[in-house]
Each structure stands twice: as structure tokens, then as C-alpha cells.
Structure 1
Amino acid sequence: MSRRNFVGAAAATAATVAAFSLTGCGSNGSGDTKSDAKEDKAETKALSGTITAVGSTALQPLCEAAAEQFMEKNSGVQITVQGGGSGQGITQITQGAVQIGNSDVFAEAKVKDTADLKKIADNKVCIVGMGPIVNKDVTVDDLTIDQLKSIFTGEVTNWKEVGGADAAITVINRASGSGTRATFEAAVLGDTKVPDTFKPQEQDSSGTAAKMVASTPGAISYLAFSYYDDTVKALKVGGVEPKEANVEDNSWTIWAYEHMYTAADPDEATKAFIEYMMSDDVQGELVEAQGYIPVSGMKVEKDASGKVTKK
């Protein structure tokens, strides 16, 4: 709204101009000052609210980084990002306990009640590649899917059995509710059951699993690419390197969508944050910088049953 100042005008003229300024500030020219005030207030209203995102630790680094950027642009919004695993994320969003449930797996894999599935909306924000990592003293650089299966079912217990040194293998699993574990087991174990007698240690988060592998001689686990660093060694699988391009065409088969589930009708702040996750600020820069893969780059797609087809 522009302000007009008339110097030296008579009091009556000033009053007339002031009245004109108030009635003429809206674009509809109706003279409805209450309507205009509401319109102006709506146009300048700052986004506000509180968002809690819980679930996948594989997605947690990207979600935290995006939340920081979003809050810098929207100081009235407070976002808290927590781990806990994909199962926790899906459970809490279906219960309405949080605004966002982060998951490496489709909700259909965890929720069987169709009424609960109708309560939530799926937002696939990126792709995450996952793969086996070992302690840096392990001399093996490449394992086949069958060799991985033998290790993670307890059939193979010494690195010499798969071409390495004579050293015991320490398997470190993620907890049973982990989407990273579900993705890895679906790609590597398939329908093979793990014997009840094989009980490797379990870790609740990707970060903890990485630290345990780095500090335990002969250890093996699996992580999202976003957690790869020089404290551990990433393995090839069947001669294929764990790279973005190999995930995009499914040459590397251990990957998943990163889902950010919301209520079917999310609040204004949550909706705005999801829209920000799909914006160029995140998809064009942050996704790859954090070690993830944009959905737009994929040459294949995967459905809730795990079936992969070409786009």
C-alpha cells in the first residue's frame, strides 16, 4: 500500500486523501477496507508451525540438512529430525504422532490395514544406494551376491572362505525395524531364511553400525552410500562398483526410494517443507552433495512388491 503525503494541504483535504488511500489500497476497487485488510494480511502472513520427522537413519542426514536450510528461510517453523528406523517412522505417521515418517521401504511392507494406508501420503524424495562395507583391514574387495548371502546367514564365518585372509568374520546387522536392513536382505537374501542359531550383533542406527565396523577387525555390515567415508571400505558386488550411475540403471541392485510419509492432508508447514524437498534447492544441489540420487535420474522404477521395470 502506498502512502501519499500532501504538504500544506487543508485538514479537510488531508482527511479526504487519507480516506481515499484506505479505500483504494485493494485491487478490487470495492472500498471494502475489512476485505482489503484480510487480503493484505494473508499475503504477508509468515509460515509457522512445528514439524517432527522420525524414522529412517539412512535418510536422516539429508532430512537434517534440508531442514536447516528450510528453517533459515522460514524462521517461524521449527523442524526436529530423529532416527529410530523406518518401522518407527511408518508406525508414528500412521498413528498421527508425528508430521513426517521417514522410511527406506514402502509403507505397504509394514502396514497391512488399508484404512491406515489411506491416512498417509507417500513422497519419494530421492533414491538411496546401499551396500556392504568392511573394516579396512579386510583384504577382500569384491563379493558376489551368493557370497554375501553365505556370510549374512552364518554359513561362511572366515574371510579365507571368500578369498581373503585367515580371519574371523564379524557380522554387524541393523535392528529388525530398519529399512536399510530390509532393503539389503531383500536384495541379498531374497527368500532365504536366517537360521535361528545365527545371532549377529545388531545396531540401531547407520552411524553406530559404521563406527562398529571401523573399530572391529574382520567386521562387515551394510550402509547407505550417504554414510560411506574413509573409515571403512566399501565392497564391489559381482564386479559392480557402488556408484550412482550403476544404481540408476539397476546394475547395482541394492537400492531403495527414500519416502517421507505425511498425513493425507498435511498441515501448511509440513506441506511447504515437502515441496521444498522437491525443489531445485534440494533436488538440484543437496541430494547429490549428501550422497543420494535424484529420482529424476533413474532409468528404472520399483514398485511396492520390489518389482523393477524400465521407465
Structure 2
Amino acid sequence: MKKILLLTLSGILALTLLTGCGKKGVEGSVATDGSTSMEKVIGSLGESFTGENKDVKFTYNPTGSGSGITAVSEDRCDIGLSSRNLKDEEKNKGLEETVLALDGIAIIVSPDNDVKDLSTEDIAKIYKGEITNWKDVGGKDAEIVVIGREAGSGTRDGFESITKTENSCKYRQELTSTGDVITTVAGNPDAIGYASLASVNKNVKTLKVNGVNPSEKTVKDGSYVIQRPFVIVTKTDKKLSKAAQAFFDYITSKDASEIISKAGAVPVK
């Protein structure tokens, strides 16, 4: 009996020592700013991270890619969020990009629209105002209402560069967030828009592009051609705080891949 009690006490002591040696959760705050398209992905990652680190305050400010890049450059946030690659002039200012995931840019219409598939050439012609009626691409006789994002949006930059429509789009409306584009297109049976595949909901219909449905699989294998990176932006000459570094390490690890995938994007890990 004495021997059993001794072994039990030894086991409790060993467990206590192991618990004491465990890694303590980080403390502090992590401020992110930028791409509205990354809201679901970064929100899910932030929720998971703070669930494991109760003493960390996480914030996300959805201002758009350009604003997020400026915010990290001006030290107004820890980590910037961009749905496009950094430009050379931004890198020359001491900014560094890390690709977190890939995202398809879905071409969206109202569920009441009969069109199911468009070529990249037809999409370009629609946005440049060369095709103005849905009947010319297999739809009903109705004027096409062209919806897009504001200048500085990473989604707009990605869409226009891939479709080769830079500085030539004839937008009816230029909206300031992914959510606004989805809501506007959903409410207009004659509208067309583009939005992050990770953010698309059942209120709109995604079109095939060149016969290919937008999906995690087709983005990953490259067969869905309208896609772009989700990028996290930091400064090369400024060390992140302990909390921000821990968050950075977490979201770029393999452990975050499933969360990124469930949020609708394609993890690069």
C-alpha cells in the first residue's frame, strides 16, 4: 500500500512538472488591416488563434488592400492584408509579402440569370463595354449592368490584370467592399460582378469561366484562370511584437491549412 501511494505521488509530481514546463500563451494585441476579400479567412484564423491565446486581443479592419498596405507602412497596424501581390515600389519602401493562400475571383450574377458560362474574352468585352446585352452571350434581351470594385481594391487589380482590362472598364457602379458587390448583384437580375470565391454566398450564382467551375480544386490546379493570392504584409525593418509574431507563425503553419480551406480559400502549405 505504501509503495502504491509513493508511485501515485510520484506520478502527480511528474505531471505537475510537465504542466509547469508547458508553453505559456502569449499576451498582447494583434492589429490587422486591409483586404475585405480576406474577411472570412482572417476572421477564422483570428478566432482560432485567440481561442488558444486568451490574453491576446485580435482586430481586423476591412479597409481594402491598398489601405491595408498603407496602414502597415505607416505603422498603424501590425500586419497588412492584400488580395494582390505587392508592387515593386511598395517593396522598395521596405514592405515584404508572404503568400498565405490562393483565391478564385468568381464571376457572379443573379440566380435569375440564365447564363452559365462565359469565356475570358467575353468577360473582357462585357467589362470594356463592347458587349452590352445579355442576349449576345446566350441570355435574355436585357442591358448588362456592370458592377466592380473601387480603385485600389486588390480584387479589382487581380480581375483587371487577368482579363487585360486595366483602365478600360466601363463600370456602372464601383463599390468599396466584396459584400457590397455580392449584395448589389444579388438584387439586380441584369447585373454582373466579381468577388472573392471565399466570400460568395447562395444569394448569387457563380459562372463557369472557359467551361471551368470556380472551386478549391480548380484554383489549386490552375484550370480556373481568374485567381489571385491572399497576401500578408509586414515591414522588413521592423520586428513584430511577440503576439503579432506568434499570430504570423500560426497562420503560416500547416496547422492553419484546414481553417483556411474551410473559409473557402486554398492554403499554400
Q: How much is the aligned-residue C-alpha RMSD, in angstroms?
A: 1.9
SS at match of 1:62: helix
Deviation at 1:278, TM superposition (A): 2.2
Judge conservation of contact 2:65–2:82 (CA < 8 Å) in 1: yes
Structure 2 CA distance for aligned equivalents of residues 254 and 113 of structure 1: 24
Aligned to 2:102: 127
Q: Which of these residues, 197, 200, 208, is aligned with residue 225 of structure 1?
A: 197
Q: Which of these residues, 149, 155, 159, is aligned with residue 134 of structure 2?
A: 159
Matched letter for residue 215 of structure 1: G
Q: Which of these residues, 35, 42, 48, is aligned with residue 27 of structure 2?
A: 48
Deviation at 1:266, TM superposition (A): 1.3
Which of the pair has the greater relative contact order for Cα pairs under 8 Å at 6+ separation? 2
Answer with 1 or 2: which has the greater Rg: 1
For structure 2, the residue ranges without an aligned partner over 5 or more in a row are 1-19
**TM-score, with length taken from structure 2:** 0.86
Q: Which of these residues, 262, 265, 269, is aligned with residue 292 of structure 1?
A: 265
Aligned to 2:65: 86
Deviations 1:196-215 (A, max 9, x none): xx342011110111011111
Deviations 1:87-125 (A, max 9, x none): 01111111111101000112226x3571x1x2x332211
Deviation at 1:44, TM superposition (A): 6.6
Structure 2 CA distance for aligned equivalents of residues 167 and 77 of structure 1: 52
Structure 2 CA distance for aligned equivalents of residues 253 and 267 of structure 1: 37
Measured at CA, do residues 156 and 271 of structure 1 come closer, stay the same or move farther in structure 2, by a change above 3 Å?
same
Q: How does 1:185-196 map to 2 (within 5 A)?
A: 185-190=160-165, 193-194=167-168
**TM-score, with length taken from structure 1:** 0.75
Structure 2 CA distance for aligned equivalents of residues 160 and 44 of structure 1: 63
Structure 2 residue 222 is the aligned partner of structure 1 residue 250:
yes
Measured at CA, do residues 168 and 267 of structure 1 come closer, stay the same or move farther in structure 2, by a change above 3 Å?
same
Deviations 1:237-285 (A, max 9, x none): 11111122222222111111111112332111111001111234321x2
Structure 2 CA distance for aligned equivalents of residues 280 and 45 of structure 1: 21
Measured at CA, do residues 44 and 189 of structure 1 come closer, stay the same or move farther in structure 2, by a change above 3 Å?
closer
Q: Which of these residues, 123, 140, 145, is aligned with residue 170 of structure 1?
A: 145
Aligned to 1:275: 249
Structure 1 CA distance for aligned equivalents of residues 106 and 42 of structure 2: 21
SS at match of 2:101: strand
Matched letter for residue 230 of structure 1: K
Measured at CA, do residues 107 and 136 of structure 1 come closer, stay the same or move farther in structure 2, by a change above 3 Å?
same
For structure 1, the residue ranges without an aligned partner over 5 or more in a row are 1-39, 297-311
Q: Which of these residues, 53, 69, 87, is aligned with residue 74 of structure 1?
A: 53
Matched letter for residue 261 of structure 2: E
Aligned to 1:101: 80
